[in-house]
Structure 1
């Protein structure tokens, strides 16, 4: 059997906006460097996502020397730069699911741009290094912090799992539906369900729990249109209780650089 390899690395700097594929990335306790360190909040300081605001799928992000470039996919000339070091830096307590976390505002320019394009009174916030937001201690055993990601620092999915799902779908979908951080090639479908401890390159990771999928996966990242798939098909064979599982939540035990092509090994 071919070697198991890290075939794709993805980050999503602004929660629920477009992802960025990288050839290499730094691992940190909260997740990959830059991954979901920024988030958009409403007037009540509550996070917003594609679940309710599908058009967020059509806003992309790029890493630039001056900061995050946030732009319309269909009109890249319409953009705003959100500096890595916030200009406003007003402290604000933000709500992410059941958590309340400390954040800081970024810039009035970013707030205005997002508000105009999404039709709401919005602010862009950043998670400073001083913020503590703990992953669920029932699964994350080492008191890990997490970024603005839903629950855990990393999401791993095997390419074979997507290929197997696509064999059941009338129209194939891309991995972007599932917003993984790490895609692994060279496995059997759903091999990741059996992993507990893995190394990628020379860095150790702990697989802590399956990822329960939500309606966000039914929003086409290319068009922002919503449909029944892939949840309808996944529900027929990936249901556990009232949850539909696809991918695994992971924490990092070592911090350093990973690159596409790194070998994955499963540890005892």
Structure 2
């Protein structure tokens, strides 16, 4: 596969990585200043809670699920939740046991390895329903992005689908766009982690400047902007409290000015989904090199 040429379609902009929430979320005891992200074999979205009938369970249905803090160190998964005793799971043993569970992610059939009865019982004590935790491990990825001919997002590829995520494994947001939204919902304190970006960027010339980016180089890795990130009820759940905003914010406000796709008139977009072209190492503080769609669009931003 040929690497993209970043100067092919327009202007270059240099920015800075403010945070890599991928690593900060999974390795919560590590300081943000030390965070880095190796995008060769990502663990992100490789775990999923499912019901005893094999249906996926997320914070959309049970908001307090977002308060479970996972950390992966080598082959050990540690789950933490408030004053509950931490649970550790030996992932190598999960792979050796090889108990497979079949489920679906948005009508796509997927398979995972059951993490065991002790793990299930620990989670059931939090969400108060029967469930299992499954782990994708090194199982073959069975999901493929269905792209019709002439699709409106030409940089989206069939192999961009992730393990258990809604679409891609990588999603980028900017401080400036979040700050713009904050001015429109002053009564609702916004935190970047509520939007679940892998990569948080600071220093853009304006809010939503990322909408125009085509290729993005961070550290040694090169990404494509495959489509705007569609937003749902999950944005209304506070990651610090596990509670849903009673006024449906900021989703209600996003719907007033960020519905970018005429085929999805009630679905707002916030952040950009990325496809990976060139694997590499990312660090907080890295410069970012961006190729925009058109120089004239950049000048109007």
TM-score > 0.5, shorter chain as reference: yes
Alpha carbons 2:87, 2:122 under 8 Å: kept: yes
* Alignment correspondent of 1:9: 20
Q: 1:234 to 1:144 in 2, by over 3 A?
A: closer
Unmatched runs of 5 consecutive residues or more in structure 1: none
Cα deviation digits, residues 72-104 of structure 1 (max 9, x gap) = 1x21x5221122321542112111111111211
Residues 177 and 220 of structure 1 are in contact (CA less than 8 Å); yes or no, is this contact kept in structure 2? yes
Matched, 1:132 2:160: no
SS in 1 for 2:179: helix
Cα deviation, 1:192-236, whole Å, max 9, x if unaligned, reads 100111111232100000011000110111111211111112122
Structure 1 stretches of 4+ with a deviation exceeding 6 A read: none
Aligned residues: 258
Q: Counterpart of 2:166?
A: 150
Which protein has the bigger helix share?
2
Cα distance in 1 for partners of 2:258, 2:23 equals 25
What does 1:1-268 align with in structure 2 at a 5 Å threshold? 3-11=14-22, 20=27, 23-28=35-40, 33-65=42-74, 67-72=76-81, 74-75=82-83, 78-85=85-92, 86=94, 88-129=97-138, 130-137=140-147, 139=153, 140-141=156-157, 143-170=159-186, 171-187=188-204, 188-227=206-245, 228-240=248-260, 241-267=265-291
Give the structure-2-normalised TM-score. Answer: 0.79
Contact 2:102–2:109 under 8 Å retained in 1? yes
Which structure has the highest strand share of the two? 1
Normalised TM-score (structure 1): 0.89
Cα 1:141–1:64 change in 2 (3 A) is: closer
Q: Is the 8 A contact 2:144 2:158 kept in 1?
A: no
Indicate conservation of the 8 Å contact 2:219/2:280, yes or no: no
Judged with a 3 Å threshold, the aligned counterparts in structure 2 of structure 1 residues 193 and 20 are, in CA distance, closer, same or farther, namely farther
CA RMSD after TM alignment:
2.1
